[in-house]
């Protein structure tokens, strides 16, 4: 048994070595297959990386455009706010100017009525003058002087109204 044991032992070891060699061959084949797969995967990964870089650049263009649009919208919103504030100020001044002009127009209307009343009074006085007074020239001069003063006063008031209207108009134009 001693002799058969070493032979059997040798056969068993040879079979073990053959099994290990077959395992090594199988592992070597599997290693080659895995290396081939790894190479293919690396190629796919590089292709995907290139594609993702192109997509990233493409998307960055849209992000830049979006940022530009957002900034444009914010700018226009701030400009709109400023314009609304300016409009509110101008509108307030316009209303104030209109009320001043209305007062001036009422004053002009009043003055027109006064002039009409003075004209009527002058006409009545002219009719009464020959019968009541002999010195018609003096009375006529007094009436004409009053009328001229009233006209000059009216003219001065109209000039004031006109100047105020021009000032308001030019102020409005400068706004």
Mean pLDDT, consecutive 10-residue stretches, the chain (175 aa), reads: 72 89 91 93 92 90 91 93 91 87 84 85 76 65 82 87 83 74
Tell me, what's the pLDDT at 42?
A: 93
Tell me, what's the pLDDT at 162?
A: 86
List of residues 6+ apart from 130 with CB closer than 8 A: 136
Tell me, what's the pLDDT at 3?
A: 57
What are the structural domain ranges in the chain? Answer: 4-174
Tell me, what's the pLDDT at 175?
A: 63
Question: How many CB atoms neighbour CB 154 within 10 A?
Answer: 16
Tell me, what's the pLDDT at 157?
A: 86
Q: Is 108 within 8 Å of 155 (Cβ atoms)?
A: no
The predicted model scores a pTM of 0.38
Tell me, what's the pLDDT at 1?
A: 44
């Amino acid at each position: 048994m001693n002799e058969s044991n070493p032979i059997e032992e040798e056969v068993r070891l040879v079979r073990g070595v053959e099994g290990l060699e077959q395992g090594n061959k199988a592992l070597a084949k599997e290693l080659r297959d895995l290396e081939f797969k790894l190479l293919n995967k690396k190629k796919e990964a590089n292709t995907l990386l290139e594609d993702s870089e192109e997509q990233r650049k493409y998307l960055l263009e849209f992000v830049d455009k979006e940022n530009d649009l957002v900034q444009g919208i914010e700018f226009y919103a701030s400009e709109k706010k400023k314009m609304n504030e300016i409009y509110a100020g101008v509108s307030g001044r316009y209303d104030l100017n209109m009320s001043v002009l209305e007062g001036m127009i009422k004053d002009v209307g009043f003055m027109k009525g006064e002039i009409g009343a003075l004209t009527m009074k002058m006409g009545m006085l002219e009719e009464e003058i020959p019968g009541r007074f002999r010195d018609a020239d003096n009375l006529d001069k007094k009436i004409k002087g009053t009328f001229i003063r009233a006209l000059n006063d009216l003219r001065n008031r109209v000039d004031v109204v006109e100047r105020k209207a021009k000032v308001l108009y030019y102020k409005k134009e400068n706004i």
